[in-house]
Amino acid sequence: MRRVSVVITAVALLSLAACGSSSKSSSEGAGSTTTVAGKTRPHVTIDAFDYGFKLPAQMPSGWVDVTLHNTGKEGHQIAFAKLGSLTLAAFKTAASATNVKALKEVQFVGGPNNAEPGGSVTATIHLEPGEYGVACFIPASDGKAHAAHGMVGKVTVAQTADSVEDAPTVEGGSISLSEFTFVPESFTGNGMVEFKNIGTQVHEAIIVKEAAGATLDSVKAFFLAPPGSPPPAGPPPFTSAGGIVGLGPSQTMYQQMALTPGKYVLVCFFPDPTKGDQPHALEGMVKEITVS
């Protein structure tokens, strides 16, 4: 029951966050490219709507800038998972139920998170050739993941002349994710930021900027309303600042950031399969960081 309450709170915030200012961070226009040591990193823009993705049939392997452009009315994300031996049908079933235990075999490599309605979030992920399942795990008002409503699919990844294997250059520091915390290192919030999963479970980072007068406690109160109670009244005490989703153990990904000075909160709602799918946020995975 606790999980459902938290999850519904998360939905509310992601919808309400749409009323706030648009996220300037981690957004890039569709079709823009990034030059890496003379070679341009491929940039793929995927439209998200309520409820589905407009997916390309194929994406280049290597490091790819993935922009999720949200044309819907609810917040969305797209997590990429290399299927390996899991069938697409099994992936769809498990993703629709946010059954991370059944997704143990897939390799989650990350993706852009927390794209507000009308907004875009870009993340740089590494893809190996093969079949990938993609999904949005954000819950709809019925408590089921958006994946269960159609935000699940498949992308084929192949090496092409566009493929770039040189990892992005880190400019804005790094953030390590593990059970159950975020550890920033030399983090400035500006330039390319590295996200590393040094733990054993899949994690995400939903990033929000505290509104004037807000505190970590007021943000937590919004994210983690007690079981059975609605989130606090009024607008959310924060605005969206992008984020990353579905980063599996030992995986690294990047996000271009341009965070303005202020206090930010990182939250992970990924379920802990060893604790009855309790969201990591309830196990301490909520962190305030200051950008100066």
SS (H, E, C) 82-131: ECCCCCHHHHHHHHHCCCHHHHCCCEEEECECCECCCCEEEEEEEECCEE
Task: Report how far residue 126's alpha carbon sits from residue 42's, in angstroms, rounded to the nearest whole number.
Answer: 11
For residue 193, what are the β-bridge partners? 255
> β-strand 271-272 against 278-279: which pairing, if any?
antiparallel
State which of positions 175-234 bind Cu ion (CB under 5 A): 203
Tell me the closest approach of the beta carbon of residue 280 to Cu ion, in angstroms: 3
- Print the binding letters for residues 148-167 with Cu ion: x by CB under 5 A, - otherwise: --------------------
Q: By CB under 5 A, which span of 2-10, 93-101, 133-141, 272-280 interacts with Cu ion? A: 272-280
> Which of 20, 82, 85, 78 has its CA nearest to residue 49?
78
Beta carbon of residue 129, minimum distance to Cu ion (angstroms, whole number): 28
CA dist., res. 144 & res. 31, Å (int)? 33
Q: How far is the CB of 248 from Cu ion (least distance, A)?
A: 11
The Cα 243–Cα 192 span in angstroms is: 13
Amino acid at 212: A
For Cu ion, which residue of 95, 268, 286, 291 counts as binding (CB under 5 A)? 268
Q: How far is the CB of 67 from Cu ion (least distance, A)?
A: 23
Tokens of 119: 């907004």
For the bound state, the minimum distance from the C-beta of residue 25 to Cu ion, rounded and expressed in Å, comes to 21
What gap in Å lies between CA 82 and CA 224, rounded to an integer? 31
Among 126, 146, 209, 280, binds Cu ion (CB under 5 A): 280
Q: Which of 121, 268 has the CB closer to Cu ion?
A: 268
Q: Which is nearer to Cu ion, 59 or 78 (by Cβ)? A: 78
**With binding defined as CB under 5 A, does residue 270 bind Cu ion?**
yes
Using the minimum distance from each CB to Cu ion, give the nearer residue, 226 or 284.
284
CB of 270 to Cu ion, least distance (A): 4
Please identify, using beta-carbon distances, which residue of 27 and 201 lies nearer to Cu ion. Answer: 201
Binding site for Cu ion (CB under 5 A): 203, 268, 270, 280, 285
